[in-house]
Amino acid sequence: MNQPTLNMPSLSSGFLSVVRRDVLLAWKRPGDVLNPLFFFAMVSTLFPLAVGPSSEELAFSGPGVVWVAALLAALLSLNSLFMSDFEDGSLDQLILSPQPLPMTALAKALAHWLITGLPLVLVSPLVAITFQMPAQTISVMMVTLTFGTVSLSLLGSIGAALTVGLHRGTALLSLLILPLAMPILIFGARTVSLAAADDAVSAGVYFLAAYCMLTLTLAPFATAAALRISNE
């Protein structure tokens, strides 16, 4: 019997089904959505209370604080990216399904970004008010956070696939992802600082966009290979 072939409509429907499934499961567990968001908001808003109301100090430290808080908030939920599928046995079905595994990995990363990264981007203007950032700086921060959080979700999918099922995999996942995330943090915070100083920001935005495209191209295949290795 001939193996069934997948055409583009079936591939897109399978991709969207995985995204829809993960988003619906996340909304049934509100803590998975709210915990990173509360962590991001609390760290970012408590810092001005510690350093004082000086506008110069807030403008100097604000971009770095927001970016570090966003990075740590994204890391909080990465360990659960494949954990529920591993525990209920559906991960084996995803690996053995006719849907290409890199496309499934990309769908899982997209769902993670919709659940974690997109809320961080949407909440960031409210956090920026506590640092007295002007509107132009806030818009640059939202653009850089969008590229950065997408890259973090894609990079995190690789680490989550490598550590799925491991005891204390969260600490190992952080060690794997943080070195790869350092360029995102450095260029993201620096670009927002340049925007606050009315300097050119195009170079930083282009770098983050290129880094995002690189992870978008390579991460699904690396994640698929890591899932096959972890499942053996």
In-domain check, residue 30: yes
Higher model confidence: residue 30 or residue 219? 219
In-domain check, residue 4: no
The whole-number pLDDT of residue 212 equals 94
Q: Residue 156 in contact with residue 74, Cβ under 8 Å? A: yes
Q: Which residues span the domain enclosing 80?
A: 10-231
Mean per-residue pLDDT over the chain, rounded: 82
The whole-number pLDDT of residue 1 equals 41
In-domain check, residue 5: no
pLDDT digits (tens, 9 = 90+) for 44-90: 878 777 766 666 777 777 788 888 888 888 888 787 787 777 777 77
pLDDT-derived band at 3 (thresholds 50, 70, 90) equals very low
Vertex 213: Cα angle to 202 and 113 (nearest 5): 100
Q: Which of the residue ranges 7-11, 13-17, 73-77, 190-194 has the most confident prediction, judged by mean pLDDT? A: 190-194
pLDDT at 196 over 60: yes
Higher model confidence: residue 167 or residue 146? 146
In-domain check, residue 2: no
pLDDT digits (tens, 9 = 90+) for 119-136: 899 988 888 887 778 888
In-domain check, residue 1: no
pTM for this structure?
A: 0.86
Domain count, the chain: 1
Q: What's the rounded mean pLDDT across residues 197-217?
A: 91
The whole-number pLDDT of residue 167 equals 59
In-domain check, residue 191: yes
In-domain check, residue 151: yes
In-domain check, residue 186: yes
Q: What's the rounded mean pLDDT across residues 198-213?
A: 92
